[in-house]
Every structure is written in C-alpha cells, then in structure tokens.
Structure 1
C-alpha cells in the first residue's frame, strides 16, 4: 500500500470524526439552545405567552426533524467505523437508535395528536437528554475500533 493511500485513509477518518462532531453539535446544541435559552429569553423580554408558544410550536418540529436527520448521519458514520453488527452493542449506537425513535415519536405525535402536549414535551426532552449523554461519549474512529483497512 502506498503512503498516499494511508494518508487518504487517515483523512477520511478525520473527516468522519469531524462530521460526527459537527452533526452532534448542531442537533444537540440546537435542542438545548431552543428549550433553555431562546424560549425563556423570548418570555423574559415580554412577548405574549401565546406568541412564545407559537414560536415554540413552529421551531420544535423543524429542529426535531433536523435532529433526526443528523442522528441518521451519525448512525451511518458509526456503522462505517464499528460495523453494522456492533451498532446494537455500542452505547453510542443505542443512543442514536433511541434518538431516531424519539424523533419519529415526536413528529408522529404532532401529526396525529397535536394536543398531546405532555408526550410532545416528554419526547423532546428525552431526545435532548439522549443527545447530552451522547456528547460525553467518544467520537468513533476507524483506528480506535481496529477496523482500519
């Protein structure tokens, strides 16, 4: 194997780790920022509570759908790093699968039962908690998993 092929493989591994971290920062940071910074700030500056709820009602589904997309990207990167069979045994894979399921539950609940505010808030906050637990896990890399080809 030539030296350039080895360095290309390392760049791919670094690119995968960077894509993992970028996707994670977008969806986890976005969920936490919206719920704990933006909406309380809108409430604090004196906007009407109904207006704050309208903003939350329009931004949360978009952010949860984006989180679902980002978790799918992260799951594909994890499959590339550790393999598809190890996805169920890896804590990161389990958290990603739960996050994908919670995104789907949130969006389906919003579609079929939009007045079920408890389940919408519960799935949103549980999704944010899964993201927070995922943040403290190490990013996957081919070299660390022993699957470098």
Structure 2
C-alpha cells in the first residue's frame, strides 16, 4: 500500500519564494540606487548637493532594508543547512558578511559621519555580496 501524495516530502515553496523576493528587493535596490538612479539624477542636471542629500537619505534606508532581508534569508537558509552549515555554506557566509557590513555601516555613520569613503566602501561591499549571492542556488531547490 502506497502513501498518498500529500505525505511525500516537498521542498518548502514559501521559503524559496521569500528567499527570491527578499533577494530581489535588497540586491536590486542597492544596485538600482547607486548605479542607476544617482547617475541618472546627475545626468539630467540636478544640483550636486541635492543628489548628495538624496543619497544620504536613501543609503541608510537601503542598508537597513538589506540587513532585514539578509536576516530573513538566513532564517530560510538555517533549516536547510543547519546552524553549523551557516558558517560553511557560501550563502551563509555572504549573508553573515552582509549583516556585519550593515552593522559596521551604521556604526561608522553614528561615530564618524564624515568618513564618507568608508560608508561608500561598506555600501559597495553590500552590493557585491548581494551580487555574489544572486549567483548561488536557492536553498531547497534541486540545483545543489
């Protein structure tokens, strides 16, 4: 006697969907702001101080959103690879790097707000980690 199809172990579709959605929002948002929106505002002739004010307002919001989404992605990854696997898996390492960089970003922003190059470096590391994360397989998919 065979079991019903409802008892077969299926991958967690909600986890896969939330992983992809969170990744799309935070990685796409970081890249879109820095490499599309700000240069486009400069190209259309907006005042440089206004562009800088827009960047100073939106950058922390996107870094905080990236940290939140990375935390969500860690929660999706954790049941798949386990707690020890978070340190060994490339996706886990990238997500932990994103959280660390976001923490450093807000620390530098609080204690040394004049260190604009360091803030830009943190932002670009976040964007690069996001890009590398996009190249990794989704947890729970059969690609691994």
State the TM bucket, normalised to the shorter chain: over 0.9
Alpha-carbon deviation of 1:120? 0.1
Using the size of structure 2 for normalisation, the TM-score is 0.92
**Alpha-carbon separation, structure 2, partners of 1:144 and 1:45:** 43
Give the match's secondary structure for 2:107. Answer: helix
Moved over 6 A (4+): 142-145
**TM-score, reference length from structure 1:** 0.89
d(CA) in 2 for partners of 1:113, 1:104:
14
Q: How many residues align?
A: 142
* Distance of 2:4 and 2:13 partners within structure 1: 19
Q: Note if contact 1:17-1:140 (Cα within 8 Å) is conserved in structure 2.
A: yes
Question: Superposition RMSD on alpha carbons, in Å?
Answer: 1.6
Where does structure 2 lack aligned partners over 5 or more consecutive residues?
none
Residue 135 (structure 1) aligned with residue 143 (structure 2): no
Residue number in structure 1 paired with 2:17: 18
Q: Work out the CA distance in 1 between the residues paired with 2:141 and 2:132.
A: 22
2:103 corresponding residue in structure 1: 104
Give ranges in structure 1 of 5+ residues lacking alignment.
Answer: none
Query: Match of 2:6?
Result: 4
- Offset, 1:4: 2.4
- Deviation, 1:3, is 3.3
Q: Tell me, yes or no, if the aligned pair for 2:78 and 2:86 is still in contact at 8 Å.
A: yes
In structure 2, distance between residues paired with 1:144 and 1:28: 21
1:88-99 correspondence to structure 2 within 5 Å: 88-99=87-98
Q: Answer with 12-21 or 64-73: which moved more.
A: 12-21
Matched residue SS, 1:87: helix
